[in-house]
């Protein structure tokens, strides 16, 4: 199966920049998009294509905010929106698709950059997700993709020292990713590329993308038991239309 994740930073906007053409050429079996910014009730505007069915989880607390969606041509066994912890529902951040061999999560994790309260929400969301994933993992393995809004190590952003006090690279955010990987979740990109200079998000300002001054905050993780089935993982920095670029995973499937 080929799986792709992309924070599109507004699906309506990226549709004007060739999204449908990109999707048709992607070859993906499942595409998860984040920050769709579609209002509840407007999802039909982005309905099934000739090749893909769609499912959405949109924010019910604020219009034009957050939201995730999946385009799929492999029929899921089940679909769940949001996390089971009610404290972290309403913003349309999670889609959980069950396939025969694994649970697939498409998640737009919160940004912690708007003050202490929002940082606490982000860290609590991380914990609520991990608790849920660990419960499901007793049934079958986990694949999770999306915008984690945190660069894990100094290799994952251009200016690590200058951003040590910036949300997205705070010690407590990075410590959660340490706990996540210690719990047996594998950063698939790092199975194939151990060096720096590979990013998935660039600030729109300062010609950051042109100069490759970026952050790697979009990931595919798999639970350890799926490691042998990972065939390749990549970042496609040649795709424009958003301040993020797509990331992908190919995983062996029966």
Binding site for Mg(2+): which residues?
Answer: 7, 35, 147, 149, 243-244
Which is catalytic among the residues 108, 121, 126, 199? 108
127 flagged as catalytic? no
Q: Which of 121, 126, 132, 147 is catalytic?
A: 147
Annotated catalytic, 244?
Answer: yes
* Cα end-to-end distance, the chain, whole Å: 9
- Token reading at 146: 């999306």
Based on its alpha-carbon atoms, the radius of gyration of the chain, rounded to whole angstroms, reads: 17
Quickly tell me which residue has 């679909």 as its tokens: 79
| Backbone angles phi and psi of 146, in degrees to 5 | 140, -175
Of the candidates 29, 132, 218, 244, the residue annotated as catalytic is 244
Burial 91-108 (b: 16+ CB within 10 A, else e): bbbbbbbbbebbbbbbbb
DSSP state of 228: G
Residue 132 catalytic? Answer: no
At 179, phi and psi to the nearest 5?
A: -65, -35
Residue 220: strand pairing partners: 145
Q: How many CB atoms lie within 10 A of CB 30?
A: 23
* Residue reference for tokens 């194939």: 192
- Residues serving a catalytic function are 108, 147, 244
């Amino acid at each position: 199966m080929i799986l792709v994740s992309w924070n599109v930073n507004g699906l309506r906007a990226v549709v004007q920049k060739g999204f449908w053409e990109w999707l048709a050429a992607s070859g993906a079996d499942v595409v998860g998009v984040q920050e769709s910014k579609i209002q509840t009730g407007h999802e039909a505007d982005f309905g099934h294509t000739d090749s893909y069915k769609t499912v959405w989880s949109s924010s019910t607390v604020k219009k034009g905010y957050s939201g995730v969606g999946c385009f799929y041509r492999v029929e899921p066994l089940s679909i769940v929106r949001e996390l089971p912890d009610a404290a972290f529902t309403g913003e349309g951040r999670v889609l959980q698709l069950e396939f025969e061999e694994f649970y697939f999560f498409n998640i737009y994790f919160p940004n912690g950059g708007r003050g202490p309260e929002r940082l606490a929400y982000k860290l609590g969301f991380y914990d609520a997700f991990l608790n849920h994933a660990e419960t499901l993992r007793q049934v079958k393995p986990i694949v999770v993709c999306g915008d984690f809004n945190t660069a894990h190590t100094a290799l994952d952003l251009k200016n690590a020292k200058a951003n040590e006090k910036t949300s997205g690279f705070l010690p407590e955010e990075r410590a959660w990713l340490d706990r996540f990987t210690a719990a047996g979740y594998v950063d698939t990109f790092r199975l194939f590329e151990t060096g720096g200079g590979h990013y998935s998000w660039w600030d729109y300002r300062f010609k950051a993308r042109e100069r490759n001054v970026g952050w790697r905050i979009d990931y595919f993780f798999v639970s350890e038991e799926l490691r042998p089935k990972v065939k390749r993982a990549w970042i496609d920095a040649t795709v424009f239309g958003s301040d993020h670029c797509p990331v992908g995973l190919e995983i062996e499937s029966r």
